[in-house]
Amino acid sequence: MKVTVVCEHNASMDSEEGKKAYPEGLGVCLKTMLEEAGHSVTLVRTDETGADALTDEIIDNTDVMFWWGHWYHLKVSDEIINKVADRALRGMGMVFLHSAHDSKMFKRLLGSSCSLKWREDGEQERLWCVDLTHPIARGLGEYVDIPHEEMYGEPFDIPTPDELVYIGWFRGGEVFRGGCVFKRGLGKLFYFNPGHETYPTYKLPAVRQLLCQACAYVAPQIPLKDKICCPHIDGFSVKD
């Protein structure tokens, strides 16, 4: 499967804590995780200059796209957002990680502010599985513990998830819908809240297994090129 990892680079990643958590880079960590699962992975870096490296060729050849962002959401052009959203609605899977809840891409697909309560305390998060039969949670038991994470809490301004897989609990008492599946058009997307850039969350075996299973779950069930589009829409035909 062809997977694209869109990952922002910001100054926090160059801090002592950030380099300790991901000396190879957070994006490289995610890329390696998915390559070890057998996927062909393209890593696209975004920063204060935007996401120009996310070309039409990359978008058009992606089965599943991972999206991690934090500081530079508004730097991603509306043109790129429109192209990615169009492909997602045609069936490309998407996995949104941590602060990507505030990205233009996530808000575009969900149609809400996606605002939440947060506190950067580095405390424990326990992700309770509320659907033990769900393919994303396969083999992971009743919960997944994250030793140190940024707190995200309710209220979380999102539509009711089509499938709720995990609810996070923090030592401060907050709870959060931290593992949600949404169906949009012909595609599926998964939101997963853990993954602050100064904590090595994506190195945890359980998290890596969960994300690889999420990748498989949101993947297109039939080739995107076989999907039939309205012949009267500019640029598309029933042969696309």
Does position 234 have pLDDT exceeding 70, yes or no?
no
Q: Strand 163-170 and strand 40-46: pairing?
A: unpaired
Q: Which fold has domain 2-113+181-226?
A: Rossmann fold (3.40.50)
pTM metric for this prediction: 0.91
- Model confidence at 75, in pLDDT bands (50, 70, 90)? confident
Q: Are 50 and 12 a contacting pair, CB within 8 Å? A: no
- Model confidence at 230, in pLDDT bands (50, 70, 90)? low
Q: Summarize pLDDT for 83-142 with one digit per residue, the tens.
A: 999 999 999 999 999 999 999 999 999 999 999 999 888 899 999 999 999 999 999 999
Does position 187 have pLDDT exceeding 50, yes or no?
yes
* Domain spans in the chain, listed from the N-terminal domain onward: 2-113+181-226
Lookup: tokens for 56: 């039409």
Other residues' Cβ atoms within 10 Å of the Cβ of residue 206: 15
Closest CA to 144 of 177, 175, 167: 167
73-85 mean pLDDT? 92
> Residue 235: its pLDDT value, please?
44
- Residue 42's contacts (CB-CB under 8 Å, 6 or more residues apart) are 2, 3, 4, 5, 58, 62
Q: Are 134 and 179 a contacting pair, CB within 8 Å? A: no
Q: Strand 64-68 and strand 175-184: pairing?
A: unpaired
Residue with tokens 């979380």: 156
Q: Summarize pLDDT for 9-21 with one digit per residue, the tens.
A: 888 889 999 999 9
3-state secondary structure of 145: strand
Q: Summarize pLDDT for 156-183 with one digit per residue, the tens.
A: 999 999 999 999 999 889 999 999 999 9
Does position 231 have pLDDT exceeding 60, yes or no?
no
Q: Strand 143-153 and strand 117-129: pairing?
A: antiparallel
